[in-house]
Chains A and B, each alone.
Chain A
Amino acid sequence: MEALALLLAATFNAGTVLALAGLGLLINERAGIVNLGAEGMMLVAAIAGFATAVTTGNDWLAFGAGALAGALLAAAFGLLVIWLNTNQVATGLALALFGAGFSAFVGIGFVQGKLGERPRFAVPGLADLPFVGPAFFRQHPMVYAAIALTLALAWFLYRSRAGLVLRAVGESPESAHALGVPVRPIRLAAVVGGGALCGLAGAYLSVVYTPLWVEGMVAGKGWIALALTTFATWRPARLLLGAYLFGGVTMLQFHLQGEGVQVPSQFLSMLPYVATIVVLVLISRNAAWIRANMPASLGKPFFPGS
């Protein structure tokens, strides 16, 4: 029972990384932009956050640094794809490759860096409940922040005027443009905001989740977050559920290793990646359903006046 509670707690912790990045990518994609550079942004943000945490000792500054790093890289990506109309897939790949190299380069001095276990926030009254307490209510504040963010984003997209405009830009930029909506600035804002969330995810990963810095430590989580947006059919609440599901798969792998299950560890480590493929296959097989939910202009460039 105790073990199960800890497993659940770890699941929410791992899922938070995916949820933050996934929500950021969801905002991008709702505005019609696919940013395949998530992995690169998360890596650069992870080292930016880690370096800040080690030097200043302030986690919130570290999260800010990570978000800023993600936002800056996303802005470069956004300027290229939105104003210079470069291919979104290729530009995103460039960002992913650059981020991997750049983070390894600047992070070389921090490989030995150490951060202690980060303090958890015990929800008063609830944290002491048996089972439920350790499972749900002794988490890092960012875990709750991710849930709040999901709700806020759902409200923003479906209940606010600005959210309606954002969705319009992703569905039909031509119509939005004809109505006088500044399509390209809105897309850039979505890209930068999404990048900041990916950056936050990267910083959370290196400062709270692991907490250490290793070259390539994001290990595909950026790509899994990209898959999550499809899995969630571009809806925030489903994305959060998907993130916890994948967090659970990741944790299950460590749990099984700890239990001494007679399966080579490498096969257990494959689990999250294989699960992503399986989920993609299950979700995508109904092409019509995906098309009905996908932002209609996803990945398509838009130039006003042509």
Chain B
Amino acid sequence: MIKLESRPQPSQLMSLLSPLLALAITVLIGIGLFLILGKDPLRGLQVFFVEPVKNLYSLSELSIKATPLILIALGLAVCFRSNVWNIGAEGQFVVGALAAGWVAMQAGPQLAWMGRGIVVAILLAGVLGGMAWAAIVALLRDRFNANEILVSLMLVYVAEMLLGYLVYGPWKDPQGYNFPQTITFLPETKVPRLFDGLRAHIGSVIALVAVGGFWIFLFRTYRGFALQVGGLAPLAARYAGFSSRSALWTALLLSGGMAGLAGGLEAAGPLGQLTPYVPAGYGFAAIIVAYVGRLHPVGIVFSGLLMSMFYIGGELAQSRMALPKSLTGVFQGLLLFTLLACDTLVHYRLRWQRRAASPVSAPAAAVKEA
């Protein structure tokens, strides 16, 4: 029978292979699913893994979806490394979009002096909006010990209702034929695009810069180090004098700010106005992106692109193979599930073994039955 035997130290190689293994298993399950549904699995693979990278146009679309995922996942990686469970990035994204949208709606002749600089103000508002929403979580955790998982998640629903109230109520475009949407933001408020004729915008450049910034923060600064010690060994961190309160606030404000930035870029970028459809699930998908990317900034770039392929693949599967778009969510969830299972191999190795006479008294104390 198979035994799990603990490794002396976590395997670096397995830590890198595990996401690939998980992807392979997810693809295999996907092929099975296509067969059950009577669809051509090769066509399915093509739709998910070839079409999204086929040409410049599709690459540009890929970058549009990958940008928010990478930005949010970077912040979440800091959170999860510090053992702070912010799972309400979706709400922080929405509030970021609301704050950014509010600034964008103020644009006009009286703000003409700002020129294109107004984009900076819009994005800054997005960051502050996301931070403010995450600060509620930090405050309630810090002052009242309220579970951050549940509070951050409840605030997602509150943020969505707030968005609904604004676009159905005070922010509704008077000339919008009563549709629940704000005015279309003026051209000068739009996030600049990178190339003519493509929707890719400077958000992807910001995301790449952020990757560098987060790498330095996590691995080259004292504060980043202190945060991670707090996550791995809270007692050691306390002994070393690292404040767990400051870790909590730093992690939540950083991740909230990143989610808010992503929301601002989305509002003033591809969307160009606020509608009830601002929340697209990026905040939840980014949790998977962060894990599949090994909570490492560079890994997150790859997993962000992968998850973005899942999004585009799901849309294409809907239009070309008559499959529901929610296929994306199925594959995303499966990927995280299989990844967590495969991660067992980081800490344990598999051994074929005859049934030991008495597992308890076996010399390798850490042998456990699989």
B336 to chain A, nearest CB (A): 4
Stretch at the interface among A53-61, A98-106, A135-143, A161-169: A98-106
Judge whether A303 and B368 touch: CB under 8 Å: yes
Q: Which of B250-308 contact A (CB under 8 A)?
A: 284, 287-288, 291
Q: Which of A100, A285, A303, A305 neighbours the largest number of chain B CB atoms within 10 Å of its CB?
A: A305
Q: Which residues of B contact A95 (CB under 8 A)?
A: 333, 337
Nearest to A92 among chain B residues (CB) is: B149
Judge whether B154 and A277 touch: CB under 8 Å: yes
Selected contact of B150 from candidates A80, A91, A276, A290, CB within 8 Å: A276
User: Considering the chains assembled together, what is the distance between the CA atoms of A304 and B369 in angstroms?
Assistant: 9
User: Considering the chains assembled together, what is the distance between the CA atoms of A53 and B291 in angstroms?
Assistant: 38
Q: With A90-B291, A223-B153, A280-B147 in contact, do A306 and B330 touch (Cβ < 8 Å)?
A: no
User: Considering the chains assembled together, what is the distance between the CA atoms of A226 and B153 in angstroms?
Assistant: 12
Judge whether A285 and B144 touch: CB under 8 Å: yes
Selected contact of B329 from candidates A83, A102, A230, A264, CB within 8 Å: A102
User: Considering the chains assembled together, what is the distance between the CA atoms of A250 and B150 in angstroms?
Assistant: 18
Give the number of chain B interface residues (Cβ < 8 Å). 53
Judge whether A305 and B365 touch: CB under 8 Å: yes
Q: With A276-B154, A277-B154 in contact, do A98 and B145 touch (Cβ < 8 Å)?
A: no
User: Considering the chains assembled together, what is the distance between the CA atoms of A100 and B90 in angstroms?
Assistant: 15
User: Considering the chains assembled together, what is the distance between the CA atoms of A304 and B361 in angstroms?
Assistant: 12
Judge whether B329 and A305 touch: CB under 8 Å: no
Q: Which residues of A contact B164 (CB under 8 A)?
A: 266
Question: Contact string, A260-280, partner B, CB cutoff 8 A, digits 1/0?
Answer: 000010110110011011001
B89 to chain A, nearest CB (A): 12
Judge whether A108 and B340 touch: CB under 8 Å: no
User: Considering the chains assembled together, what is the distance between the CA atoms of A84 and B343 in angstroms?
Assistant: 9
Question: Contact string, B295-333, partner A, CB cutoff 8 A, digits 1/0?
Answer: 000000000000000000000000000001011111111
Nearest to A226 among chain B residues (CB) is: B150
A56 to chain B, nearest CB (A): 22
Q: With A93-B336, A266-B168, A305-B367 in contact, do A280 and B328 touch (Cβ < 8 Å)?
A: no
Q: Which residues of B contact A87 (CB under 8 A)?
A: 340
Q: Which residues of A contact B227 (CB under 8 A)?
A: none
Judge whether B359 and A284 touch: CB under 8 Å: no
Judge whether B149 and A36 touch: CB under 8 Å: yes
Judge whether A80 and B329 touch: CB under 8 Å: no
Q: Which of B108-146 contact A (CB under 8 A)?
A: 140, 143-146
Judge whether A280 and B6 touch: CB under 8 Å: no
Judge whether B145 and A105 touch: CB under 8 Å: no
Nearest to A100 among chain B residues (CB) is: B329
Judge whether B147 and A101 touch: CB under 8 Å: no
Nearest to B151 among chain A residues (CB) is: A277
Stretch at the interface among B155-163, B199-207, B239-247: B155-163
Q: With A93-B87, A97-B333 in contact, do A264 and B165 touch (Cβ < 8 Å)?
A: yes
Q: With A85-B344, A306-B368 in contact, do A93 and B150 touch (Cβ < 8 Å)?
A: no
Q: Which residues of A contact B140 (CB under 8 A)?
A: 277, 280-281
A17 to chain B, nearest CB (A): 16
Q: Which of A104-126 contact B (CB under 8 A)?
A: 104-105, 108
Q: Which of B346-370 contact A (CB under 8 A)?
A: 347, 359-360, 365-370
Instruction: Assess whether A154 is interfacial by the CB under 8 Å rule.
Output: no
Selected contact of B147 from candidates A40, A104, A230, CB within 8 Å: A230
Judge whether B324 and A104 touch: CB under 8 Å: yes
Instruction: Assess whether B53 is interfacial by the CB under 8 Å rule.
Output: no
User: Considering the chains assembled together, what is the distance between the CA atoms of A290 and B87 in angstroms?
Assistant: 22
Nearest to B83 among chain A residues (CB) is: A89
Q: Other CB < 8 Å A-B pairs besides A86-B344, A100-B333, A280-B150, 12 of them? A: A84-B4, A89-B85, A91-B337, A97-B287, A98-B334, A100-B329, A220-B154, A264-B165, A264-B168, A274-B158, A276-B154, A287-B145
User: Using a CB–CB distance below 8 Å, which chain B residues touch chain A?
Assistant: 4, 6, 85, 87, 140, 143-147, 149-151, 153-155, 157-158, 161-162, 164-165, 168-169, 284, 287-288, 291, 324, 326-334, 336-337, 340-341, 343-344, 347, 359-360, 365-370
User: Using a CB–CB distance below 8 Å, which chain A residues touch chain B?
Assistant: 36, 40, 76, 80, 83-87, 89-91, 93-95, 97-102, 104-105, 108, 215, 219-220, 223, 226-227, 230, 264, 266-267, 269-270, 273-274, 276-277, 280-281, 284-285, 287, 290, 303-306
Q: List 26 A-B contacts (CB under 8 A).
A: A40-B333, A80-B340, A84-B340, A87-B340, A93-B287, A97-B284, A97-B287, A97-B332, A97-B336, A98-B329, A98-B330, A101-B329, A108-B326, A215-B326, A219-B157, A220-B153, A223-B150, A264-B165, A266-B168, A270-B157, A273-B154, A274-B154, A277-B140, A277-B151, A284-B145, A303-B366
